[in-house]
């Protein structure tokens, strides 16, 4: 999979994408990352990429001609299945199934917004899908794009050491993942309290452990994300 990022801040990359399982997969060429500096396609001697918004208002808007030129600089192999995304808080909210869909593509081209956004004509004419990573506003789309890319790349075959963990994790089903425990079996905290691991996990009784985890999953979902349970009930009807 080729990930191509269009950004005014190329220095932010690879950032988190250079580490851990996703970074290792990058080094092993299981995916590739291409960073395009929008300023290389600036419209004047100062390599500016933005102008004031028509109609007035604060901030600056990235110009459509700059985005088009940057896009045209990306080579396209015949038959390549590629998709364009624009990271913006006013897009469709990203979720696990959306990320899984993206993993079937050969190339994802991701435009990171800054300032007050991007000229709407560029989004429509060049066919960018507008994607948000949540209901909050960041200073730009770069970190948001890293969230999206990390979430997609770890789903690619051969990227995770233990692909079984994909089946257990939150959002692979309707529920949040159950809590996990490791050594020490009894942890003496700084207040001198003995904090024990739930006994059932030490029992070696696989059926009971499965049952306990499933109960914890439901309890946790009820507490943090009751909306997920409501959605699941509706889908079962």
Assess contact for 89 and 143: CB atoms under 8 A.
Answer: no
Q: Which stretch binds ligand ADE (CB under 6 A): 3-11, 97-105, 119-127, 128-136?
A: 128-136
* Contact range with ligand ADE by CB under 6 A, out of 17-25, 121-129, 138-146, 171-179: 138-146
Q: How far is the CB of 136 from ligand ADE (least distance, A)?
A: 6
Considering the complex, what minimum distance in angstroms separates the CB of residue 142 from ligand ADE?
A: 8
- The minimum distance between CB 86 and ligand ADE, in angstroms, equals 8
Q: Which listed range, 17-25, 39-47, 72-80, 85-93, lies at the site for ligand ADE (CB under 6 A)?
A: 85-93
Beta bridge partners of 86: 111, 130
Interaction between residue 138 and ligand ADE (CB under 6 A): yes
Q: Which residues pair with 83 in a beta bridge?
A: 108
- The rounded distance, in Å, linking the Cα atoms of 31 and 159 is 9
Residues 6 or more apart whose CB falls under 8 angstroms from that of 156 comprise 1, 25, 30, 31, 103
Does position 87 bind ligand ADE by CB under 6 A? yes
Please say which residue, 41 or 86, places its beta carbon nearer to ligand ADE: 86
Beta-strand ranges (E) seen in the chain are 2-7, 32-37, 50-51, 61-62, 82-93, 107-112, 129-132, 186-188, 194-196
Residue 141 or 151: the one with the smaller Cβ distance to ligand ADE is 141
User: Of 72 and 137, which CB lies nearer to ligand ADE in the complex structure?
Assistant: 137
CA-atom Rg of the chain in angstroms: 22
């Amino acid at each position: 999979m080729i990930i191509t990022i269009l950004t005014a801040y190329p220095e932010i990359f690879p950032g988190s994408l250079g580490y851990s399982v996703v970074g290792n997969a990058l080094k092993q060429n299981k995916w590739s990352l291409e960073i395009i500096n929008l300023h290389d396609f600036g419209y004047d001697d100062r390599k500016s990429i933005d102008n004031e918004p028509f109609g007035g208002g604060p901030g600056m808007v990235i110009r459509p001609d700059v985005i088009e030129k940057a896009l045209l600089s990306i080579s396209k192999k015949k038959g390549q299945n590629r998709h364009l995304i624009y990271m913006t808080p006013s897009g469709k909210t990203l979720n696990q199934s959306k990320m899984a869909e993206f993993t079937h593509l050969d190339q994802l081209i991701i435009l990171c917004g800054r300032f007050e956004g991007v000229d709407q004509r560029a989004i429509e004419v060049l066919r960018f899908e507008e994607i948000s990573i949540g209901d909050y506003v960041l200073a730009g789309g770069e970190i948001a794009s890293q969230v999206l890319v990390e979430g997609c790349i770890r789903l690619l075959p051969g990227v995770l050491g233990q692909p079984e963990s994909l089946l257990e994790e939150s959002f692979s089903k309707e529920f949040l993942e159950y809590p996990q425990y490791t050594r020490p079996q009894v942890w003496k905290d700084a207040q001198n309290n003995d904090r024990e691991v739930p006994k059932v996990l030490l029992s070696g009784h696989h059926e009971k452990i499965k049952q306990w985890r499933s109960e914890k999953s439901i309890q946790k979902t009820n507490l943090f994300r009751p909306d997920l349970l409501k959605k699941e009930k509706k889908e079962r009807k």
